[in-house]
Every structure is written in C-alpha cells, then in structure tokens.
Amino acid sequence: MQKIIPAIGLALILAGCDGSQQQASAPAGPPQVSFITATEQPVTLSSELPGRTSAYETSEVRPQVSGLIEKRFFQEGDLVRAGQPLYRIDSTPYEAQVASARAALARASAAIASTEALARRYGELVKINAISRQEAENAQTSAQQAQADVAAQQAALRNAEIDLKRTTIRAPITGQIGRSTYTVGALVTAGQSEALTTIQRLDPIYVDIQQSSAEVLNLRQQILSGELSRDGGAARVRLKLENGSTYPAEGVLKFTDVSVDPTTGSQVIRAVFPNKRSLLLPGMYVRAELVEGTKSNGLLVPIRAVSRDERGNPTALVVGPDGKLQARQLSAPRTVGQDWLVTGGVRAGDKVVVEGAENLRPGTPVKAVPLREGGRQAGQPAPTQQQAK
C-alpha cells in the first residue's frame, strides 16, 4: 500500500507537466507589424549644394589722368553714392591746358573772318577775269582750312576740359568702398594696373552655386514634362551660413551658366538674395538649399521602412490583401527629409510595413496595425513614465 501511494503521486506530477507543455506549445497567433498607407501627395523637392557669395556690382577705381593726389574725400568702408567725389588730383597743369586750348580756339576763330572776306572778294574778281581762277580757288581753300582749324581747336578745348574734370575722381557706382591703396601725395598715372580702391554693391548680393550638369538636365526635363511645377516660374533658394545658422531671407534663382566645366562636369547657378544688413560678404562659403519645384503626385516611404538586398537595391515589405508579407523592389531616386521619394515598386493604397518585420520573411502571415505618430500602434495607449523606463 505504501508503494502504491508514491506511484499515484508521480503519475499526477507527470500529468501536470504534460498539461503545462501542451499549454506552452499552443499557437500564439500571427506576429504584429505596423504599417503606413502609401498616399499620393504634393512633395516639394529641394537639394543642398555648396556656393560662394559675390558682389552684385564691382568697380575698381583707377585714375584717368596723371598727377599727385591732393585729397581723399571718403572713409574706408563707407557707403558711397554714384558720382560722389573720392580723390582730387593736382589740377594746375590741366587748368593751364584748358587756358591754352581756349587761346588757340580764339586765334583760329579770328582767322576765319579775314579768310572768308578774301574768298568773297576773289570770287567777285574772278568773274570779271581780274585774277586767275587758281588764286580764287586758293582763297576759298584757305577759308575752309580756317573753319577746320576752329573745329580742331574746339575739340582740343573739349579734351582739355574733360581731363580737368577727371582730376576729381568720382564713384562710378553706389556701394561699400574698400581700403585705399594710395595716400595723399602719391603719384598716380592714367591707365595704371593697380586700382586706387574698390567699390562693391552688396545689396542685393549674388550666390554662385555649383550643380552637376546631369542634375540640371534632369530638372529641366521634369519641368518641361510637367512632372515638376514652380510657383511663379522661379526656383526659391535658402541659405545656411558658415556658422550653421539659416539666413533669414529667401533668394531667387536668376541664371544658369550656358557652359559646363569640363573638369568637374558642373554648371554655375546664380541666385540673388536681399542683403540690407550686409550680413553676407563677398567670398563667403554657404550651403544653398535649392527648392527645385513641387511634385504633385509624390509617394513618400519612411527611411526606416526601406532596406537593401544583396545587390544593394532598395526593398520594402508590403502587407498583401491576404494578410501576408510581400517583398517589393523600389525605385527611390532621392530622399525628402526622413522619407524616400518612391517612383516605382509601391502604389497608392499599399500598406508598407515600418515596424515589427525585422526577422520575418515574405509570405509570413501577419497582424497589420496602422502606425501611430510617434511610433505607437493604432489602439495602443501611450506608455506611462514608469513603462517608458
């Protein structure tokens, strides 16, 4: 009897273990994945490219007459206006040239009266054969030469007055003036290679951007085909400065170079930016975000939903109508923020898996739940502070 009781207890224990194993091996249901529904929407396309700032207008100030600098009328770094005096060159020799030219003009003008009177008298005398025809023609020629001398002296006087006026060097454009390379008392010459100073117009200012010629060609084709549209017809440009900050004003694309650099295969794109506070200076390095246009029927898929196959092609998992996973090879030419812009492999309405399919293979039945903003699944409450830890 004592041997029977332990045997019964052992049988009960074994029966309990079999029940636990059967309960543990019971099916747990299909794995749960989170998905987003692919939807066509307007997508603004942009690209970030390197660029350099350059002045809107630049003028190197050089003397047009020779002489000693007597005075400088500006402070280096000032804003100067077009026509404002900058330097004065010693004008004494040019005043003397003007006086000499005026005297020569007066002498030539005085000669006109006598030669014209002689030509008239000889014209009357030749009619009665009192003088030869040759003498009459010589008198007429002398009168014409006197008139030509007057015209030449008038031109000489005009040149002398221009040179005298050029002894005051004026600003050709409005802008910020740089340092002066010559001081008062320095001798300058007409047409010298070194500039006295440089004036740059900084408002507005140019930003020259380098972009691949292939990208420029693709952009043009997309715009011509109607795949991309632009508001107002001009691309907008935003800037990131050298310190990482964003420039407060937007610029407008104005010009694309008509030639391609054969060494780099790139083209220069020029944008214009307002620069009222002179925050941008010529030669600064910037990052330009070029807003190329808007794709009206763009499909965006989160970057974390896309993986790569053994050949490096982008792929994604989609929940099929039968509730099973399907592998899709994507055509994704570029990223837009935290998403891929997909042009093939996924259609509007497809359920693209974002979370929960890390170890699952295509063909696996799944329980698909819409992905909630912030990574939570549909119907799943937000975690408490203790749960989050």
Q: Tokens in use for 63?
A: 């003397």
Amino acid at 225: S
| 350 located within any domain | yes
Tell me, yes or no, whether 81 and 171 share the same domain. Answer: yes
- Measured between alpha carbons, how far is 115 from 234 in angstroms, rounded to an integer? 70
Tell me, yes or no, whether 157 and 267 share the same domain. Answer: no
Query: For residue 145, how many other CB atoms are within 10 A of its CB?
Result: 14
**What CATH number has the domain bearing residue 270?**
2.40.30.170
- Residue-wise pLDDT for 73-91, tens only, equals 999 999 999 999 999 999 9
Distances (CA, A) of 134 to 123, 130, 131, 142: 11, 12, 8, 12
Tell me, yes or no, whether 219 and 281 share the same domain. Answer: yes
**What CATH number has the domain bearing residue 95?**
1.10.287
pLDDT over threshold 70, residue 224: no
Averaged pLDDT, 370-379: 56
Tell me, yes or no, whether 263 and 222 share the same domain. Answer: yes
pLDDT-derived band at 381, boundaries 50, 70, 90: very low
Tell me, yes or no, whether 171 and 80 share the same domain. Answer: yes
pLDDT-derived band at 117, boundaries 50, 70, 90: low
pLDDT-derived band at 70, boundaries 50, 70, 90: very high
Q: Residue 334 in contact with residue 306, Cβ under 8 Å?
A: no
| 99 located within any domain | yes
Query: For residue 269, how many other CB atoms are within 10 A of its CB?
Result: 22
User: What pLDDT, on the 0 to 100 scale, is given for residue 373?
Assistant: 60
- Measured between alpha carbons, how far is 212 from 265 in angstroms, rounded to an integer? 6
> Which range has highest mean pLDDT (138-152, 160-174, 211-225)?
160-174
- Residue-wise pLDDT for 334-349, tens only, equals 888 889 989 888 999 9
pLDDT-derived band at 3, boundaries 50, 70, 90: very low
Q: Residue 184 in contact with residue 71, Cβ under 8 Å?
A: yes
Tell me, yes or no, whether 302 and 348 share the same domain. Answer: yes
| 367 located within any domain | yes
pLDDT over threshold 60, residue 248: yes
pLDDT over threshold 50, residue 351: yes
Tell me, yes or no, whether 222 and 285 share the same domain. Answer: yes
Last residue of a domain, one of 294, 328, 345: 294
pLDDT over threshold 50, residue 233: yes
**What CATH number has the domain bearing residue 183?**
2.40.50.100
| 240 located within any domain | yes
Q: Tokens in use for 344?
A: 């093939």
| 227 located within any domain | yes
User: What pLDDT, on the 0 to 100 scale, is given for residue 229?
Assistant: 56
Last residue of a domain, one of 118, 145, 165: 165
Domain tally, the chain: 4
- Residue-wise pLDDT for 263-304, tens only, equals 887 888 888 999 998 899 999 999 988 877 778 888 899 999
Q: Residue 140 in contact with residue 115, Cβ under 8 Å?
A: no
CA angle at residue 175 from 172 to 180, to 5 degrees?
75
Tell me, yes or no, whether 282 and 215 share the same domain. Answer: yes
Amino acid at 75: Q
Range of the domain at 181: 65-90+167-194
In the chain the beta strands, taken as DSSP E runs, fall at 32-37, 40-61, 67-72, 79-80, 85-89, 168-170, 175-177, 187-188, 197-212, 236-240, 251-256, 266-273, 285-302, 307-308, 314-319, 325-329, 334-336, 339-342, 351-355, 367-370
Last residue of a domain, one of 272, 294, 316: 294
Tell me, yes or no, whether 236 and 283 share the same domain. Answer: yes
- Residue-wise pLDDT for 96-114, tens only, equals 999 999 999 888 888 877 7
Mean pLDDT estimate for the chain: 82
Closest-CA residue to 178 (of 256, 77, 103, 82): 77
pLDDT-derived band at 382, boundaries 50, 70, 90: very low
pLDDT over threshold 70, residue 23: no
Helix locations, 73-206, DSSP H: 92-127, 133-166
Averaged pLDDT, 165-179: 95
Give the bridge partners for 284, in sequence order: none
Q: Tokens in use for 251?
A: 């610029």
| 370 located within any domain | yes
267 vs 208 pLDDT, higher one: 208
Q: Tokens in use for 96?
A: 């003397």
Tell me, yes or no, whether 305 and 364 share the same domain. Answer: yes
Q: What percent of the chain has pLDDT over 90?
A: 40
| 1 located within any domain | no
User: What pLDDT, on the 0 to 100 scale, is given for residue 385?
Assistant: 35
User: What pLDDT, on the 0 to 100 scale, is given for residue 24?
Assistant: 47
Long-range contacts of 216-220, Cβ-Cβ distance < 8 Å, separation of 24 or more? 216/256, 216/267, 216/269, 219/292, 219/293
| 13 located within any domain | no
Tell me, yes or no, whether 78 and 100 share the same domain. Answer: no
Closest-CA residue to 208 (of 114, 285, 131): 285
- Measured between alpha carbons, how far is 72 from 70 in angstroms, rounded to an integer? 7
User: What pLDDT, on the 0 to 100 scale, is given for residue 28?
Assistant: 66
From 67-71, 125-129, 208-212, the region with the lowest mean pLDDT: 125-129
User: What pLDDT, on the 0 to 100 scale, is given for residue 168?
Assistant: 96
Tell me, yes or no, whether 239 and 313 share the same domain. Answer: no
Q: Tokens in use for 309?
A: 């196959």
